[in-house]
Amino acid sequence: MFKSKQSFFSRRPSLVAIYLGGLVAFLLVSVASTSSQVVASTSSQPMSIANAEYPGGQGTVTQVGGRAFSLPALGITDEQHKAFTVGNSIFRTNWVQAPASVTTLQGLGPLFNTRSCGSCHQQDGRGSPPRSERDEFVGLLLRISVPDAKDPLRMIDVPGYGDQIQSQSILGVPAEGTPRVSYKEITGKFSDGETFTLLSPTYTIENLAYGDLPKNLRISPRLAQQLVGLGLLDTIPEAALLANADPEDRDSNGISGRPNWLGPNGTAPLGRFGWKANKPSVLEQDAAALLGDMGITTPLHKNQECREGQVACQKAFSLKDTEMSMQDLLRLTAYMKLLGVPKRRGFLDPEVLQGEKVFHQIQCNQCHTPSFKTGVDPEFSVLSNQWIFPYTDLLLHDMGQGLADDRPDHQASGREWRTAPLWGIGLVHDVSRHDRLLHDGRARGVKEAILWHDGEAKSAKEEFIKLPKKDREALIKFVNSL
């Protein structure tokens, strides 16, 4: 019923994308891992789950505060710790333009968004979106594309620009443009009369260096994501994810859930990472980030992406070998896969338990699947056979026109997004010093994030609006305990 067919609401003024407003499983577990108890369970939940306090399984970290997302999973080997440490330093170091007197970490650009992974994913957390029209874009980037003239359902790269606006460049190469955002306030009311305000963003791109952008340009704003537990998500068996898919909505609950198949004509591999599940593995996501966000070539992407007409980019100096070796790419990937999930806080608080009940009652769990058991990671035993609580099905859902970017991405339509994992979400403020949520950071906290839900999540949102204030607050407190 809320079927996610491509929707092309393309009547956009040039360069402007307008986003109009558009347990009852009480997992009562003991702190000690020796005894655990599950009082009740939904049908998709196992009857005996190890311990909900430790959402990342045995590797769960106990750190809270600003470094909560930055620690290695507990129990990794010394060898893995070494790779983690090198990967960590690659992640944080600013790259420089080649040729440079240093021997490593050179080859930045020619076009790029920032100089290090860590400057978007600060403290391994989510990026900080611009708050006003004059704010620079750092942790938020704009993907772009344009419908193919021959087949308007197909998105292609934008002539002269490619698929992402790179707002920075090395000396002598013009940067592509400067993204800007402005927010319009939308107001609404809960059933009990309390009012709320949401921010609806509009994006523009100024200082275009390579000619006008097409009138039917599609813009997809994407905030840098928080990076905990990625190795665990990578290890969930594909069959377990597909078991939750219901593309035809056979159970008629208004919720479909579609896999994003990334191969030609809807074939493997299955997408898991990114806001639209458009990358199949942590390794491929890392290599794509290196090239797209920083202009670093790797054995996976050996050539710079200088587009036609980007003459200075094409002529820029380039090293003989790829700018990052396979060995370093694997260390960076080990770092990304091994960042541990922080343990839950206050999970036995009666209000949190009430909120958990509401979460299931109003069917948030239909997409934010509480738990999975991971399969086997041949390299990292700490990721293998773990009961984890990521609160995502990693599938795509139509979230309505208000959140739509109208820019299909592989099999994801312009209205579909991957269910965002909720683990660690209560620590976003401590780590990133802001509370901005959703794919473009428009929501100020959990309440606003829920209020933007629509499409397949419309009924959950409407139930939320009808809840008594006490239950709304309990639900938010539960989400923030994750």
By CB under 6 A, the count of residues binding ligand HEC is 55
Rounded to a whole number of angstroms, the minimum distance from the CB of residue 176 to ligand HEC is: 13
CB atoms within 10 A of CB 116: 17
C-alpha to C-alpha distance for 229 and 208, rounded to whole angstroms: 38
Q: Which of 23, 38, 181, 294 binds ligand HEC (CB under 6 A)?
A: 294
Is 283 a binding residue for ligand HEC by CB under 6 A? The answer is no
**Measured from the CB atom, is 50 or 339 closer to ligand HEC?**
339
Is 286 a binding residue for ligand HEC by CB under 6 A? The answer is yes
Is 199 a binding residue for ligand HEC by CB under 6 A? The answer is no
Contacts of ligand HEC in 245-264 (CB under 6 A): 255
C-alpha to C-alpha distance for 471 and 123, rounded to whole angstroms: 33
Q: Which of 427, 479, 481, 482 binds ligand HEC (CB under 6 A)?
A: 479
Q: Is the dihedral of CA 409, 139, 481, 424 positive or negative?
A: positive
CB atoms within 10 A of CB 468: 12
Q: Which of 225, 318, 386, 432 binds ligand HEC (CB under 6 A)?
A: 225
Rounded to a whole number of angstroms, the minimum distance from the CB of residue 30 to ligand HEC is: 26
C-alpha to C-alpha distance for 300 and 320, rounded to whole angstroms: 15
In sequence order, the 6+-apart residues with CB closer than 8 A to the CB of 468 are 192
* Of 356, 312, 376, 334, residue with least CA distance to 475: 356
Torsion angle, alpha carbons of 381, 121, 394, 200, to 10: 170
C-alpha to C-alpha distance for 297 and 130, rounded to whole angstroms: 28
C-alpha to C-alpha distance for 457 and 405, rounded to whole angstroms: 17
Q: Which of 155, 329, 367, 467 binds ligand HEC (CB under 6 A)?
A: 367
Contact by Cβ (8 Å): 325, 297: no
**Which range touches ligand HEC (CB under 6 A), out of 38-46, 75-83, 258-266, 413-421?**
413-421
**Measured from the CB atom, is 354 or 419 closer to ligand HEC?**
419
Q: What separation in angstroms does the CA of 53 have from each of 269, 289, 351?
A: 32, 32, 16
**Measured from the CB atom, is 50 or 452 closer to ligand HEC?**
452
C-alpha to C-alpha distance for 255 and 464, rounded to whole angstroms: 17
Contact pattern for ligand HEC over residues 6 through 45, marking x by CB under 6 A: ----------------------------------------
Rounded to a whole number of angstroms, the minimum distance from the CB of residue 87 to ligand HEC is: 8
Cis peptide before 259 (omega within 30 of 0): no
Is 364 a binding residue for ligand HEC by CB under 6 A? The answer is yes
C-alpha to C-alpha distance for 282 and 285, rounded to whole angstroms: 5
In sequence order, the 6+-apart residues with CB closer than 8 A to the CB of 455 are 2, 4, 397, 398, 399, 400, 401, 403, 415
Contacts of ligand HEC in 100-119 (CB under 6 A): 113-114, 117
Contacts of ligand HEC in 67-106 (CB under 6 A): 91
Is 273 a binding residue for ligand HEC by CB under 6 A? The answer is yes
Rounded to a whole number of angstroms, the minimum distance from the CB of residue 464 to ligand HEC is: 5
Q: Which of 52, 80, 111, 222 binds ligand HEC (CB under 6 A)?
A: 222
- How far does the chain reach from its first CA to its final CA, in angstroms? 31
Q: Which of 450, 467, 474, 482 binds ligand HEC (CB under 6 A)?
A: 450
Is 449 a binding residue for ligand HEC by CB under 6 A? The answer is yes
Rounded to a whole number of angstroms, the minimum distance from the CB of residue 228 to ligand HEC is: 9
C-alpha to C-alpha distance for 284 and 162, rounded to whole angstroms: 19
Is 460 a binding residue for ligand HEC by CB under 6 A? The answer is yes
C-alpha to C-alpha distance for 472 and 482, rounded to whole angstroms: 16
**Which range touches ligand HEC (CB under 6 A), out of 38-46, 152-160, 310-318, 442-450?**
442-450
Is 175 a binding residue for ligand HEC by CB under 6 A? The answer is no
Tracing tokens 């990578």 back to the chain, one arrives at 234
- The site for ligand HEC (CB under 6 A) is made up of 91, 113-114, 117, 120-121, 141, 222-225, 227, 230, 255, 273-276, 278, 282, 285-286, 289-290, 293-294, 332, 336, 362-364, 366-368, 397, 399, 403, 417, 419-420, 422, 425, 437-439, 446, 449-450, 453, 456-457, 460, 464, 475, 479
